[in-house]
Amino acid sequence: MKAKKVTSLVLSAAMVAGMTTGMATTVMADDEQVLKLAVVETAYGQDMWKNVCAKFEEANPGVKVELTIDKKLEDIITPAMKSGDYPDVIMRAVGSESALTETFIKDNNVEEMTDVLEMTVPGEDVKVKDKILPGFVDNSITNPYDDGKTYLMPMFYGPCGLFYNKGLFEEKGWEVPETWDKMWELGDKAKEEGIALFTYPTAGYFDAFFYALLHEAAGAEEFQKALKYGEGAWETEGATKTFDIIEKLASYTEKTTPANANDNDFRKNQQMILDNKALFMPNGNWVIGEMADAPRADGFEWGFTALPAVEEGGERASYTFFEQIWMPKGAVNKDLGKQFIAYLYSDEAAGIFAKDGNAVQPIQGMADKLDGDAKIYYSIYDDGAVAVMDAFATTEPVEGVTVRSTFFDPVNSLVSGDKTKDEWVEQIKKDSDTLRGALK
């Protein structure tokens, strides 16, 4: 499930060996310090975090990393936090159903991380900011308050797009559509064979899809205005195109999708791609690991593509999802926590994440060391797709209104017919007015 996990990748043995051999990581820490680290367990598993923590402890005698890792992290750490006992470092991305990270942001309870960017990576002679790929800081996710300061640090990343059965396309002689008009033509062909054009795991997966499509249809300037709930942002030609495409796509979506679009049954929707019951679904490449043991049609082979262009020769976009690691203001060991976060950008830590979890960070030189399926996903940008990274601006808490409930969850109702496009757009306009007034 998108918790949000990012990449299920195959890396070369040479890469791993090169990253984990000969590293000397030293972080100065006082004796008998305990660092409380809370991590949501995803498809990457627990081993990579346990091994990274062990290496950090090994380099820092007297330091103990107390790791809490669980699929339902919020259920574990929330009771203690209510009594003022906070983890020092939390690995939980924005966009989760619990909205844990967004709540901390809205309440101004996230520690600033700008100084971490200026720190030297432990065991190396390079600053953290110089290890991170361009664009992964100074965006609306890492810098949620628009004050030029960083509060969330980027971690594992990977492109999101449309997954499909490459084997089925080869069998049928179908081409992957490069425009939405071609997509509708393919949808009609597939319908004749009893195959739906589209499905999705849960409506929450429309975040990456919506951002990429809006960027394609509206362009960068209007896109940024919409993310800040700007006046008239949803009345532009680009916004109208976005809503029209999603409305039409809903009509091509497998009708059983909404019934299974929840945290318990989402794999049933993903299974439709493996069973050739639907052609495309939005996802990140963690889905490959999630569905590794699932049955599949003969000749099945994962395929991956950016969104079709709105018009011939137009932009094709792929939202780049990345997870974030951060520190609550209530953390006790802030200095040690920041040293630990800086260590996560070392070649040593990156090698462990890659080897033990197939998790890739936005670190200089990492993509060059990928092979196998990973090359397919990361080459999407080499092939001309535009990387989209930003998200809706953070606001003060607004009772009864969230980004997910306003922009993404209504897709279920569009597919089921319980809500019309016009009703959805009116809800977006109304809620945007409210959110605009609550901007931080």
For each of the chain's 440 residues, which pLDDT tens digit applies?
A: 544 443 333 343 333 344 444 443 444 444 689 999 999 999 899 999 999 999 999 999 999 999 999 999 999 999 999 999 999 999 999 988 888 999 999 999 999 999 999 999 999 999 999 999 877 898 889 999 989 999 999 999 888 999 999 999 999 999 999 999 999 999 999 999 999 999 999 999 999 999 999 999 999 899 999 999 999 999 999 999 999 999 999 999 999 999 999 989 999 999 999 999 999 999 987 898 899 999 999 999 999 999 999 999 999 999 988 999 999 999 999 999 999 999 999 999 999 999 999 898 988 878 777 777 777 777 787 677 888 988 898 888 899 999 999 999 999 999 999 999 999 999 999 999 999 999 87
Residue intervals in the chain for CATH 3.40.190.10: 10-158+322-374, 160-319+391-437
d(CA 363, CA 357) in angstroms, rounded, equals 16
Secondary structure of 292-312 in the HEC alphabet? CCCCCCCCCCEEEECCCECCC
Q: Of 215, 305, 208, 258, give the one whose Cα is nearest residue 2.
A: 208
**Where does 10-158+322-374 sit in CATH, by number?**
3.40.190.10
Q: Of 114, 245, 236, give the one whose Cα is nearest residue 187.
A: 245
Cβ atoms 404, 94 nearer than 8 A: no
Cβ atoms 69, 36 nearer than 8 A: no
**Where does 160-319+391-437 sit in CATH, by number?**
3.40.190.10
Cα–Cα distances in Å, from 116 out to 153, 295, 351?
Answer: 9, 45, 21
d(CA 158, CA 162) in angstroms, rounded, equals 13
Contacts of 281 (CB under 8 A, 6+ apart): 162, 163, 164, 198, 199, 200, 201, 205, 269, 270, 272, 273
Task: Determine the 3-state secondary structure of 257 from DSSP.
Answer: helix
Task: Determine the 3-state secondary structure of 242 from DSSP.
Answer: helix
Measure CA of the first residue to CA of the last residue in the chain; give whole Å.
Answer: 30
Whole-number pLDDT of residue 22: 41
Cβ atoms 317, 383 nearer than 8 A: no
